[in-house]
Chain A
Amino acid sequence: MREAIIRLESVSKLYPTGSGNFRAINNISLVFTKGEFCGLVGPSGSGKTTLLNILGSLDTPTEGTAKVLGRDIGKLTHKESAQLRNYHIGFIFQTYNLLPVYTVFENVEFTLLLQRKTAVERKKLVMDSLEWVGIADKAKSMPAQLSGGECQRVAIARAMVKRPDIVLADEPSANLDAENSIRIVETMKQLNMEFLTTFIFATHDEKVMKFLDRIIHLKDGMVELDKIINKTS
């Protein structure tokens, strides 16, 4: 049994609305272990992104406790949650969110700069990361010069360059064609197996689901089904 790196206990997230509170996620208890390749699946408004945001310490639960790598997300200061994200959590966004004025290399290098790594270390790590995703030759390109698939590869390289414990991917294939979607997920799967990084996706892409070891179906903010498909160890 692999170690648990994320524990959610009775987590709810409420948003105030005109007619009371809206429960985006409702009393969810889950455990994620190291090296999982897992997907949060469900229709729009089911709470996938809200759950990812809490796991990524971008948001806090209204009720319950969410512990990531032993840290209680609800009790972290801004600085502590920033450090958690910087060292341990990688993000992949649907719209890539690459910094437009930076080159591919600089985009990937960004988190390492925040970690105050030396230039030599940064260069090695960035180039390794770009090699993994197969776009080392585009290191000097600007994001605007890349295709959607290439942009998402840069985003993966950026998420992986710091060798995080967890990568959170919000609809990573939503803006990609079928061929690119499969390639991207294959790349992530390889990295997952190589580094035992936990990948958690929010997706409703069937092509992505085929690669998942665990699928958590969410509906109306609650876990409808938690299904382990294929254990990696």
Chain B
Amino acid sequence: MIALKLAIRNLTGAKLRTFLNAAVLSFAFVVLVFYMGLLDGWNRQSKLDMEAWEIGEGQLWSKSYDPFDPYSLQDAHSIILTSYNSEIDRGNITPILLVQGSIYRQGTLINIIISGIEPKQRLLKIPSRVLKSESKEVPAIIGSRFAKVNGIKKGDYVQIRWRDKNGTFDALDVEICNIFKTNVSTVDNNRIWIPIKRLQEMSGLLKEATILVTSNPNIDMPPTDWIFRDKKYLEKEIDNIIFAKKRGSIVVTILLLSIGLLAIFDTQVLSIFRRQKEIGTYIALGMTRMEVVKLFTLEGSIHSIFALILATIYGLPLLAIIASTGIPMPSAVDEMGVSIGEKIFPYYEIGVLIVSVLIMVLAATTVSYFPSRRIGRLNPIDALKGKIK
């Protein structure tokens, strides 16, 4: 308690030196929290987008469906159970039929997945309402990235080719009646969305689907050709990416923390030389060497507390503003094929904040302790004379 009191007194007495150390450390901390918030915000946004655009609260997969094997698509379809019809009508299940196909654009044959979706569905954010068309033409919607890469505009006619259930090639012109923007690449890249009924007719897979997206994670599932995949399973891939991203962020975390901790370490090392008379005086006045070590270590730790206070004063409002306004992403990022929103809203998890605070205090204490250990070995007479080298 006395050491704490003395350490605080020493630091407050050192005014500018303490402020500069705390300022550097607080800056590193705010940047660190911002960076981690940015990653978490990006991750959270990715998951929310994925749920909104693609997976809902879970999916039922046709038994043969394997998203990583395009050749499996030909057989990846099953009859939609009649017991699900009422749920489909209520909008709690959205059937999607996937059929492999191709388009010919700009002199290139491009493999696509023709995706049939119920136009009246509201479960996913895909703007399928525009697929309600009374005309003979087959209406289609595509994602903006796919449109841009292949030079497709709204109102264009695109000829699609596919094989029906018997393996016979067929072709048809579809009208692009809407181009939607999404952050989820799997509903955009090489996908053409048309009404499911039209695709069922075109492929001869009447009343069949590949995927049933559901809004009910506890969907009643009789033993059939369908396999339920919960959100955890469907988000496994993105979870792995997040995990890899977070692991990579450790390097940045270490670098950021090092900036602030270096200032403390430097101060501590210099202190032992600059304050050696003071150290000798402490010992002459009755402190043990270990008490002086403790005092100097505490001074280093308290720098981190001061840094936290400082970070709260200017960092908290700053981070809160950024979290509410978001950070606009340059369009170049999107052009590089990275699925990212127009804005990223940083998200600060309380657990991450607490861990960050603990890491900072612990690290500050450690970097303060190592130089301070030297005090335990020094000769108080040399210290009093200022003779420590």
Contacts and interface: CB of A to CB of B under 8 A. Distances in A.
B9 A101 contact: yes
Contacts of B10: 101
B380 A58 contact: yes
Given A93-B384, A97-B384, A101-B13, A82 B6 contact: no
Interface in B265-319: 277-278, 280-281, 283-291
Nearest to A97: B281
Interface in A81-106: 82-83, 85-87, 91, 93, 95, 97, 99-102, 106
A165 to B, nearest CB: 14
Contacts of B289: 78
A187 B33 CA distance: 59
Contacts, number: 63
Contacts of A110: 285
B286 A114 contact: yes
Contact of B288 (A58, A82, A95, A101): A82
Given A97-B280, A99-B278, A101-B10, A111 B285 contact: yes
Interface string B1-44: 01001100110111000000000000000000000000000000
B81 interface: no
Nearest to A49: B381
A59 interface: yes
A101 B13 CA distance: 5
Contacts of B278: 97, 99-100
Contacts of A86: 285-287
A106 B2 CA distance: 13
Given A58-B380, A97-B384, A113 B5 contact: yes
Contact of B13 (A78, A85, A102, A116): A102
Given A82-B283, A85-B284, A85-B286, A102 B9 contact: yes
B283 A83 contact: no
A79 interface: yes
A35 interface: no
B277 A97 contact: yes
A91 B285 contact: yes
Interface of B, helix, strand, loop or mixed by DSSP: helix
B6 A113 contact: yes
Nearest to B383: A58
Interface residues of B, number: 24
A58 B287 CA distance: 11
Interface string A62-82: 000000000000000011001
Interface in A111-125: 111, 113-116
A87 B285 CA distance: 9
A100 B36 CA distance: 41
Contacts of B6: 113
B13 to A, nearest CB: 2
B286 A87 contact: yes
B372 to A, nearest CB: 16
B285 A114 contact: yes
Given A85-B285, A97-B384, A116 B290 contact: no
A56 interface: yes
B287 A82 contact: yes
Contacts of A100: 13, 278
Nearest to A114: B286
A56 B283 CA distance: 11
B14 A101 contact: yes
A29 interface: no
A152 B139 CA distance: 96
Contacts of A95: 277
A3 to B, nearest CB: 23
B9 A114 contact: no
Contacts of B287: 82, 86, 114
A47 B286 CA distance: 23
B292 to A, nearest CB: 10
Contacts of A97: 277-278, 280-281, 284, 384
Question: Which 8 pairs from chain A and chain B are nearest by CB?
Answer: A101-B13, A86-B286, A82-B288, A97-B281, A85-B286, A91-B284, A114-B286, A58-B380
Given A59-B381, A100-B278, 9 more contacts: A53-B381, A58-B384, A86-B285, A97-B277, A97-B384, A101-B9, A101-B10, A101-B14, A113-B5
26 contacts: A53-B381, A58-B283, A58-B284, A58-B380, A58-B384, A59-B381, A78-B289, A82-B288, A83-B286, A85-B283, A85-B285, A85-B286, A86-B287, A87-B286, A93-B284, A97-B278, A97-B280, A97-B284, A99-B281, A101-B9, A101-B12, A111-B286, A113-B2, A114-B285, A114-B286, A116-B2
